[in-house]
Amino acid sequence: MFTGLVSDVGELIKVEERGQLRRMRVACHYDPDSIAIGASIAHSGPCLTAVEVAREGNRTIIDVDAAAETLALTTLRDWQVGQRINLERSLRIGDELGGHMVSGHADGVARIVAKREFDGMTYFEFQIPAALAKFIAQKGSVALDGASLTVNTVDGDRFSVLLIPHTLAVTTWGERQEGDLVNIEVDQMARYAARLIEAKTG
């Protein structure tokens, strides 16, 4: 489990295609001694397992594998060397829950259809697959590229968020532009609520 609070921004430094598996090497600033083989780390949303960990200079190098389903549902299939990635280590008992409960299982991708900057903040509007629209609620939570964000407005299959300067500075969101695709994970509570409603009316 994760909280959607990005704790580092990594860089993709190597990609190796292995049939339906994609091995990716990510450089970051985590302490390598604190990352065990098999550890779960969210990479701009999707949870990936560390299969190799090493130190190179002043950076930690982590190898992760993305399987066919993850590649089909997320933006990971399009990542190239140089890609910057929002990272979050898995939640530990006793950690502060500052965002919302995030599983690291992306539901699909959202497209940025509008961007507006003002007063150091940035307004983004997104379009999402119609099947996900019922899980997005005004003032509810959503994870976008691994960051826990609050929904401002909802209009059909579109919704908006407003990012403050701190979030823009410590994540990759300051680099996002209109037309970009980002990974989306809907709020788990919204998912369960919608399922209960379907069960009652079905």
Higher pLDDT, 188 or 105: 105
User: Which of 67, 131, 169, 194 is labelled catalytic?
Assistant: 67
User: Which of 7, 27, 39, 49 is labelled catalytic?
Assistant: 49
Distance CA 188, CA 174 (A): 26
156-184 pLDDT tens trace:
999 999 999 999 999 999 999 999 999 99
pLDDT band at 91 (very low <50, low <70, confident <90, very high): confident
Give me the pLDDT at residue 3, please: 86
11-48 pLDDT tens trace:
999 999 999 999 999 999 999 999 999 999 999 999 99
User: Which of 90, 105, 133, 193 is labelled catalytic?
Assistant: 105
Residue 102 has pLDDT above 90, yes or no: no
Give me the pLDDT at residue 153, please: 97
User: Which of 103, 150, 160, 193 is labelled catalytic?
Assistant: 150
Does 153 qualify as catalytic in the annotation? no
Distance CA 103, CA 185 (A): 8
Give me the pLDDT at residue 33, please: 94
- CA 68 to chain centroid: 18
Does 43 qualify as catalytic in the annotation? no
Does 40 qualify as catalytic in the annotation? yes
Does 150 qualify as catalytic in the annotation? yes
Q: Can you read off the two tokens belonging to residue 165?
A: 């300067």
- Average pLDDT for 96-117: 87
Whole-model pTM: value is 0.92
What whole-number percentage of the chain has pLDDT above 70?
A: 89
119-144 pLDDT tens trace:
999 999 999 999 999 999 999 999 99
Q: For the chain, which domains are there?
A: 8-89 (2.40.30.20), 108-201 (2.40.30.20)
Give me the pLDDT at residue 44, please: 98
Give me the pLDDT at residue 202, please: 59
- Average pLDDT for 81-95: 86
- Average pLDDT for 111-121: 97
Does 105 qualify as catalytic in the annotation? yes
Does 60 qualify as catalytic in the annotation? no
Number of C-alpha atoms within 13 angstroms, CB side, residue 183?
A: 32
Distance CA 160, CA 194 (A): 21
Q: Is 34 exposed, middle or buried (0-12, 13-18, 19+ CB in 10 A)?
A: exposed
Question: Which of 102, 169, 173, 113 has the alpha carbon at shortest distance from 142?
Answer: 102
Distance CA 126, CA 124 (A): 7
User: Which residue spans within 58-188 are E strands per DSSP?
Assistant: 59-66, 84-89, 108-118, 121-127, 141-144, 147-150, 153-155, 158-163, 181-186
Residues in the chain: 202
